[in-house]
Amino acid sequence: MQEFLVSAKADLMEARAGWLSALGRERRLASLTLEAYERDTRQFFQFLTGHCGGPPGLSDIADLRPADLRAFLAYRRKEGVGARTLGRGLAAIRSFLRHLERRGLANAAGAASLRSPKLPKSLPRPLTAPEARRVVSAGEQLAEEPWIAARNAAVLTLLYGSGLRISEALGITASQIAGKGETVLRITGKGGKTRLTPMLPVALQAVAEYRRLCPHHLPPNGPLFRGARGGPLDPSVVQREMRKLRSALNLPDSATPHALRHSFATHLLARGGDLRTIQELLGHASLSTTQLYTGVDTSRLLDIYDKAHPRA
């Protein structure tokens, strides 16, 4: 996409800033979602600058037709953008237009009438139970410094043992797991929603070993997991360590930190866990999201059938 130095007039930029602020303040959207919405609308403004022959303002947004939105989606698709990203971009534009409509500045009907891009059906790709156990094992960690190896094992154990997102694990404070026999964790997830997740003894042990070896002071209200220099641990460090483990343990490319969360749900379901409970443990707003894991388990069973049944 061609980059323009000025992609929107001041009144439109001001309106967008107000919308993003409202999303963060009132709807409590996660910072990563806000960043994605900012990027999506910026790309839309860049497209409109070329499409309309100049930076758009509020009056141009008010006059948008469905054909303009379809042209934007077609342009992005031509750039090789996938259906999931296109769908999120359209959702951002719709949200912005509804925000303007409530203030009498635009009509959101055109955007609402567009059908979202059809998403390909993709199932979560969990690790097998033996693979997951190796990934979280302290003995398999590749870091040379013992405290960093213990830290990595503790983080990965929480992702698999409690079904946490990586941002949730790294958001845990030192006082939340103080080594006093906690059995549950209170986690604040997407949209500021709070849920309780289990703390397995193996996770408590992993965290206790990390705390014992950690050379940095861990104040109660500060982040539990620290980087090499003592600052908050960055998600990219965990992702990099997982890539190293993936290579060392000969795991598929789908073996990511988030795959441990998928593994938590899939293995619970395979052992008889019910969907509603798994939904609550994962913090899913909709049961339909959790139902994806039934497809994973069915797929696994069919694979076993094909390999083992004499008439398959």
Residue 293 bears catalytic tag = yes
Rounded Cα–Cα distance for residues 126 and 252 (Å): 10
Q: Which one from 16, 195, 261, 267 is the annotated catalytic residue?
A: 261
CA distance 136 to 149: 10
Nearest alpha carbon to residue 256 among 269, 234, 238? 238
Catalytic residue, from 9, 151, 262, 284: name it: 284
Instruction: Assess contact for 119 and 87: CB atoms under 8 A.
Output: yes
**Given 16, 99, 165, 195, which residue is catalytic?**
165
Catalytic residue among 77, 98, 258, 300: 258
Instruction: Please give the angle made by the CA atoms of 143, 147 and 148, to the nearest 5 degrees.
Output: 40
Nearest of 176, 158, 149, 144 to residue 281 by alpha carbon: 158
Tokens 């969360």 — which residue?
A: 261
CA dist 20 to 29, 39, 285, Å?
A: 9, 11, 22
Active site residue 165: yes
- Give me the catalytic one of 94, 190, 243, 300: 190
Rounded Cα distance, 271 and 85, in Å: 34
The question of whether 190 is a catalytic residue gets the answer yes
Which residue numbers are catalytic?
Answer: 165, 190, 258, 261, 284, 293
